[in-house]
Chains A and B, each alone.
Chain A
Amino acid sequence: MMRTLLVRGLLAGLLGGVVAAVFAYVVGQPLMDAAIEVEEAAAHGHDHGDPLVGRGVQSTFGLLVAHAAYGVAIGGLFSLLFALAYGRFGAWSPRAYAAVLATGAFLAVSLVPFLAYPANPPGVGEASSVNARTAAYFGLLAISVVAAGIALYVATRLTGRWGGFNTGIALTAGYLAVVTVSGVLLPGFDEADGFPAELLWDFRVAALGNLVVFWVVLGVAFGALAQRSLPAHASASAQATGLRQAGAS
């Protein structure tokens, strides 16, 4: 079963990556081009000057491969999350599990780090701070994922005693407290000086939209694929349980 789910996760992730790449190309690339013009006009920071890989390749095939690789990797991890969660939070369908988990994973993996460290186009961010920015971004991402994972585990323990609603409220509040305090304590970066505000906003909306597209396609596609493989598994086991009960009575 895990093997089947893994293959489906990889496929759903690949599909999500490809669809997001199309979105990124159509919505994001014009903004990338505009940002690079601003960056070159300002002529400070990292100079793209004479690229090893042409801009035409970076913005098309490179964009697709980056999204596809991200999609396959996240799709594989998502199938693990699904396998761990499925059947442990209540009698929902595989589709419903996939939808809830994809929404939660989008929040923990993409949205929370984005709110603290939003996407920057070329031309925003000092070259000297890239290591510090990378460390802060992945630090908050790690804290967010670990906190969400702990909350999920605790939820399986508490739901029986507190009920689903109270458990959900308490653990969501706990998770938000952890990532909020972490986001405040981690360093901030104020490096958009002189960059057109409208273009920066548009780029960030495009990047966030790109992540939303990816997670929506992943969640819906994985749910549809899992729905087709799991009901037979569930009803066969339920029948086996029924037979055991009949034998015992």
Chain B
Amino acid sequence: MTQAVAIPAPQPVSIPIREILPYAILVSVLALAALYFVSTDNNAMTLMAEGYVHEFLHDGRHLMAFPCH
């Protein structure tokens, strides 16, 4: 049969998990590290940067609803 084939309606094509996985690992680690810096009133951080980073990000932490002080 060589009849014209009906053009299928555009279907969303899901992205294979194996394509997502390497990005998922890398991005999760980096993003969680960044969120840890921003969101927590953290002692290790305070020691590391002598409190500068902690105070620098202070108002953002309060206004993004993270527990602060």
Chain A residues close to B by CB (< 8 Å): 1-3, 5-6, 21, 24, 28-29, 32, 45-46, 51-53, 57-59, 61-63, 65-67, 69-70, 72-74, 76-77, 79-80, 83-84, 86-88, 91-94, 97, 110, 113-114, 117-122, 125, 127, 130, 133-134, 137-138, 206-208, 210-211, 230-231, 233-235, 237-239, 241-243, 245-246, 249
Contact of A24 among B7, B27, B35, B60 (CB under 8 A): B60
Contact of A86 among B15, B56, B58, B61 (CB under 8 A): B15
**Closest chain A residue to B37, Cβ basis:** A69
Contact of A207 among B12, B27, B64 (CB under 8 A): B64
Q: Is the CB of B64 within 8 A of A87?
A: no
Contact of A77 among B28, B62, B67 (CB under 8 A): B28
By the criterion of a CB under 8 Å from any partner CB, how many residues of chain B are at the interface?
Answer: 47
Q: Is the CB of A80 within 8 A of B60?
A: no
Instruction: Give the shortest distance, in Å, between B63 (CB) and chain A (any CB).
Output: 4
Q: Is the CB of A249 within 8 A of B55?
A: no
Q: Is the CB of B65 within 8 A of A207?
A: yes
Q: How far is the CA of A24 from the CA of B17 in the complex (A)?
A: 37
Contacting A at CB under 8 A, from B19-58, are: 19-20, 23-24, 27-28, 30-32, 34-35, 37-41, 50-52, 55-58
